[in-house]
């Protein structure tokens, strides 16, 4: 089976859902952001402040390069991965699962999380603006899209697996 990459805005549930999908499909799991943190030796929020977004994006690209050759993986991508063509070229053979949520839901999930550098001025309006700016890249990249609004992680994981089956990605 092809490897699977979860993409979408921060706060949509990519990490928890992709981990559960990997478990249900008996695949390996990696969170790109966790790998980057381990490589850099600092939280992403600190890296953004001390090193800048460009350096962080270079680490992100290098991290993806180091894992894409491994078979049978489910990966959780950071929210910015689909915004860069070079990243998408690396995961072109992955099944891309896009998770979505409304701005109010993302705000509710992330309002107390100060580790997200791009949501420092966190508000539903700011989130809606980011979503609008990223929509084209996310939509272009996605093989399937699942909304996480008002659903448990279990429900979202099951819906992802159902859509993977319906699209012929799982047999």
Q: CA angle, corner 36, sides to 34 and 42, nearest 5?
A: 90
Please determine, for residue 138, whether its predicted confidence score (pLDDT) is greater than 60. yes
Distance of CA 98 to the CA centre of its chain: 8
Question: In this predicted structure, what is the pLDDT of residue 161?
Answer: 98
| Reported confidence tier of residue 118, pLDDT bands at 50, 70, 90 | low
Strands (E), 23-114: 28-31, 73-76, 95-100
φ, ψ dihedrals at 5, nearest 5°: -120, 125
Model confidence pLDDT, tens digit, residues 20-55: 999 999 999 999 999 999 999 998 888 888 999 899
Rounded mean pLDDT, 126-133: 92
Delimit the domains of the chain by residue range: 4-162
C-beta of residue 85 within 8 angstroms of C-beta of residue 140 = no
- Residue 93 to residue 30: CA distance in whole angstroms: 17
Report the C-alpha gap between 99 and 90 in whole angstroms: 20
From CA 57, how far away is CA 32, in angstroms rounded? Answer: 12
- 98 forms beta bridges with 7, 145
Q: Measuring CA to CA, which residue among 85, 114, 113, 82 is closest to residue 99? A: 82
- What is this structure's pTM? 0.93
Domain spanning 4-162: CATH 3.30.310.50? no
């Amino acid at each position: 089976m092809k490897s699977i990459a979860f993409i979408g805005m921060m706060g949509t549930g990519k990490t928890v859902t992709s981990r559960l999908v990997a478990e249900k499909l008996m695949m390996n799991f990696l969170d790109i952001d966790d790998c980057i943190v381990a490589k850099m030796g600092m939280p992403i929020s600190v890296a953004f402040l001390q090193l800048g977004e460009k350096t962080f994006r270079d680490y992100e690209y290098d991290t993806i390069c180091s894992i894409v050759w491994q078979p049978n993986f489910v990966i959780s991508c950071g929210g910015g991965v689909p915004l860069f063509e070079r990243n998408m070229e690396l995961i072109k053979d992955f099944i891309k699962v896009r998770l979505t949520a409304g701005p109010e839901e993302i705000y509710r999930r992330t309002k107390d999380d100060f580790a997200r550098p791009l949501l420092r001025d966190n508000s539903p309006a700011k989130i809606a603006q980011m979503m609008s700016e990223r929509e084209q890249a996310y939509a272009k990249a996605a093989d399937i899209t699942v909304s996480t609004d008002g659903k448990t992680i279990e429900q979202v994981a099951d819906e992802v697996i159902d859509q993977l089956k319906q699209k012929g990605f799982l047999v």
